[in-house]
């Protein structure tokens, strides 16, 4: 059986320890794309450069200052296929659909959607082609639902606004929005019923309980280093499982029902941060090596009352240079940067052979609208973090030539991850990372 594979005969008895990659000379690289909608307050986003050439955090990027040495901020990047190009309004839908594809989506609110295969899927394809297979070829996560129908933006299907990962030009991958559901999908028992899940939670039993015997067998057969890794694996899965179960247990105590995964009562910060923790653990256990995480859908008009912003996000992004709206917009941008920092922290705190997982993970964070008020798709807010073990050098503000296709950076990240792609989207070259 390939490393990381799970036999279909496992059924309800978990084979979780078998998904843990044991000592191997293989150099594993993970790639994650983290998206935020509606552009930024550009004056608050862009960092300055110090005398030593390192970037100095702006108000928006201040939450990421602790990871400065791991982060490169890019300027000058453009997505020309997110622009109208004769199709009229609909910048939000185009920006999300184009973000990882580089392709201008067909303007339709019907079922004849068409965008393009996204870079995460191109990398996953290359990993599979070269034998770097995992139990899940990719994971797609987000805080808001993955709609596939309806008119969400000036005649563009909601499928464009709500998805950034596209398996093919007509098939978005969708996404999981509940951290516990994502956890169950990656680590849970096959076919476990809601009633059984509820009973297990009440008795505080773990999904790992059925795997303990197998873990003990493995511990007797492997070396000291692998024993430590298996112990660390079991502790990590159990610890995250307990945190994820808190909301479900609270509802079980209240009304004896198990929360609907989609409707679990999590605030946005906790939801996104827990999704990031699930993803970090999925990377560590080699359940997948490719992932996307949408902080919110493009065009989202969610209010951020938790940080004092009662007006909708999309509304304040159309600030018209009004000082109060600009301040609220910058506050939302900073809140999103905090979510990125939480994910980077989860990767940094997760160790692999004593090395932070962040060092073997390349994270792109950004969006395909620059100024939320102008809806422009040039000089995009983009940064790349991690990857030190793959030769990435952070701490830089990298000024690309104005109009450089974002797909050039997508191609650079793919190659740094070991995916030998000749071109991608509208690339004209490679932005080395």
Does 265 score more than 60 pLDDT?
no
Instruction: Name the strand (E) or helix (H) holding 386.
Output: strand 382-386
pTM, full prediction = 0.88
One domain, residues 252 and 287 = no
pLDDT in tens, 197-256: 666 656 555 555 555 555 556 656 666 556 666 777 777 777 788 777 766 665 555 655
One domain, residues 165 and 248 = no
- Secondary structure E strands in 243-307: 290-294, 303-304
Looking at 195, 230, 265, the residue that finishes a domain is: 265
One domain, residues 284 and 336 = yes
**What total number of domains does the chain contain?**
2
For residue 15, being part of any structural domain is answered with: no
Looking at 247, 265, 283, the residue that finishes a domain is: 265
* Measured distance CA(383)–CA(363) in Å, rounded: 8
User: Number of C-alpha atoms within 13 angstroms, CB side, residue 94?
Assistant: 23
- Region 338-360 average pLDDT: 94
Assign residue 129 the CATH number of its domain.
3.40.720.10
Does 11 score more than 60 pLDDT?
no
Looking at 209, 239, 265, the residue that finishes a domain is: 265
Distances (CA, A) of 121 to 24, 33, 128, 159, 406: 25, 11, 10, 17, 17
Distances (CA, A) of 129 to 7, 28, 134, 222: 21, 15, 12, 30
One domain, residues 248 and 283 = no
Q: Domain of 124?
A: 1-7+30-178+267-433
Distances (CA, A) of 116 to 172, 285, 337, 425: 9, 30, 28, 8
- Looking only at the bridges linking them, the beta strands covering 139-142 and 290-294 are parallel
**DSSP label of 152:** E
One domain, residues 154 and 185 = no
One domain, residues 310 and 375 = yes
Distances (CA, A) of 430 to 30, 368, 407, 424: 19, 18, 8, 10
Does 181 score more than 60 pLDDT?
yes
Look at residue 9 in the predicted model and tell me its pLDDT.
27
């Amino acid at each position: 059986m390939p490393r990381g594979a799970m036999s279909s005969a496992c059924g309800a008895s978990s084979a979780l320890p078998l998904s843990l990659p044991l000592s191997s000379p293989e150099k594993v690289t993970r790639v994650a794309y983290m998206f935020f909608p509606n552009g930024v307050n550009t004056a608050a986003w862009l960092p300055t450069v110090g005398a030593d050439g390192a970037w100095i955090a702006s108000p928006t990027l201040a939450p990421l200052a602790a990871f400065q040495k791991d982060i490169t901020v890019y300027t000058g990047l453009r997505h020309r296929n997110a622009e109208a190009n004769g199709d009229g309004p609909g910048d939000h839908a185009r920006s999300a659909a184009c973000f990882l594809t580089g392709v201008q989506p067909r303007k339709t609110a019907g079922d004849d959607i068409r965008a393009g295969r996204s870079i995460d899927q191109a990398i996953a394809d290359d990993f599979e082609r070269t034998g770097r297979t995992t139990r899940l070829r990719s994971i797609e996560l987000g805080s808001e639902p993955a709609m596939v129908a309806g008119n969400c933006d000036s005649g563009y299907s909601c499928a464009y606004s709500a998805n950034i990962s596209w398996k093919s030009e007509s098939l978005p991958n969708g996404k999981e929005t509940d951290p516990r559901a994502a956890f169950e999908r990656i680590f849970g028992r096959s076919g476990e019923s809601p009633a059984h899940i509820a009973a297990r939670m009440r008795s505080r039993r773990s999904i790992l309980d059925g795997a303990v015997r197998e873990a003990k067998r493995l511990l007797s057969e492997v070396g000291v280093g692998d024993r430590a890794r298996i112990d660390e694996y079991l502790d990590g899965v159990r610890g995250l499982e307990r945190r994820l179960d808190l909301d479900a247990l609270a509802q079980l105590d209240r009304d004896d029902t198990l929360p609907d995964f989609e409707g679990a009562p999590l605030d946005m910060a906790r939801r996104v941060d827990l999704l990031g923790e699930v993803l970090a653990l999925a990377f560590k256990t080699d359940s997948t090596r490719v992932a996307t995480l949408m902080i919110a859908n493009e065009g989202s008009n969610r209010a951020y009352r938790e940080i004092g912003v009662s007006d909708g996000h999309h509304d304040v992004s159309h600030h018209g240079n009004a000082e109060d709206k600009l301040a609220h917009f910058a506050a939302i941008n900073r809140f999103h940067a905090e979510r990125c920092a939480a994910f980077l922290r989860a990767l940094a705190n997760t160790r692999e052979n004593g090395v932070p997982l962040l060092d073997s993970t390349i994270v792109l964070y950004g969006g395909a609208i620059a100024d939320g008020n102008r809806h422009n798709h040039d000089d995009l807010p983009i940064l790349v973090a991690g990857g030190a073990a793959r030769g990435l050098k952070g701490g830089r503000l990298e000024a690309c030539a104005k109009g450089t296709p974002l797909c050039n950076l997508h191609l650079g990240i793919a190659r740094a991850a070991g995916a030998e792609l000749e071109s991608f989207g509208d690339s004209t070259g490679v932005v080395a990372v």
